[in-house]
Amino acid sequence: MGNMKVAALSVSAIVLVAIVATVAVTISNLDSEPAKTQFSSSQKNIKDFCNPTDYQETCESTLSAAAGNSTDPKELVNLAFQITIDQIKEAFNHSTVLSEAAKNPRTSDALENCRELLDYAIDDLRSSIDQLEGFSLIKLDKFLDDLKVWISASITYQETCLDGFENTTTNAAESMRKALNSSAEMTSNILAIVINLDNTLDSLNLGISRKLLAEEYPSWVSLGKRRLLQLSPAELKPNVTVAQDGTGDVKTINDALLRVPKKSNHTFVIYIKEGVYKEKVQVNRSLTNVIMVGDGTNKTKITGSLNYIDGTATFKTATVAVIGDGFIGKDLWIENSAGAAKHQAVALRVQSDKSVFYNVRIDGYQDTLYVHTKRQFYRDCNISGTIDFIFGDGAAVLQNCLILARKPMDNQQNIVTAQGRKDRRQATAIVLHNCTISADPAFFPFREKLPTFLGRPWKEFSRTFVLQSQLDDLIDPKGWLPWFENFGLNTCFYTELDNRGPGANTSQRVKWKGVKTIGYAHAQKFTVEHFIQGNTWLPKSGVPYIPGLLPMTEAGRIH
The string over 366-383, giving b where at least 16 C-beta atoms fall within 10 Å of a residue's C-beta and e elsewhere, is bbbbbbbbbbbbbbbbbb
Burial-class residue 226 by CB neighbours within 10 Å (0-12, 13-18, 19+).
middle
The string over 68-107, giving b where at least 16 C-beta atoms fall within 10 Å of a residue's C-beta and e elsewhere, is eeebebebbbbbbbebbbbbbeebbebbeebbeebeeebb
Q: Which of the 8 DSSP states describes residue 223? A: T
**Would you call 122 helix, strand, or coil by DSSP?**
helix
CA separation, residue 167 to residues 245, 309, 315, 368 (Å): 44, 12, 14, 21
Alpha helices by DSSP H, listed for 445-526, are 520-524
CA nearest 11: which of 44, 57, 55, 53? 44
Q: Give the phi and the psi of residue 105 in degrees, each rounded to 5.
A: -60, -40
* Residues with Cβ within 8 Å of residue 92, at least 6 apart in sequence: 114, 115, 118, 119, 122
* Active-site hit among 141, 325, 388, 476: 388
The string over 512-532, giving b where at least 16 C-beta atoms fall within 10 Å of a residue's C-beta and e elsewhere, is bebbeebeeeebbebbbbbbb
If one counts every other C-beta atom within 10 angstroms of the C-beta of residue 44, the result is 17
What's the rounded Cα separation, in Å, for the pair 7 and 509?
Answer: 45
410 is a catalytic site residue: no
CA separation, residue 515 to residues 120, 465, 510 (Å): 33, 10, 7
CA nearest 144: which of 28, 30, 29, 19? 19
User: Do residues 450 and 475 make contact, with C-beta atoms less than 8 angstroms apart?
Assistant: no
Rounded to the nearest angstrom, the gap between the alpha carbon of residue 482 and the centroid of all alpha carbons in its chain is: 23
**Phi-psi category of residue 70: left, alpha or beta, with phi > 0 → left and psi -120 to 50 → alpha:** beta
101-108, Cβ contacts within 8 angstroms, sequence gap of 24 or more: 102/170, 102/172, 104/168, 104/169, 104/170, 105/311, 106/167, 106/168, 106/311, 106/313, 107/165, 107/168, 107/169, 107/170, 107/172
CA nearest 354: which of 531, 233, 220, 158? 531
**Would you call 22 helix, strand, or coil by DSSP?**
helix
Catalytic positions: 388
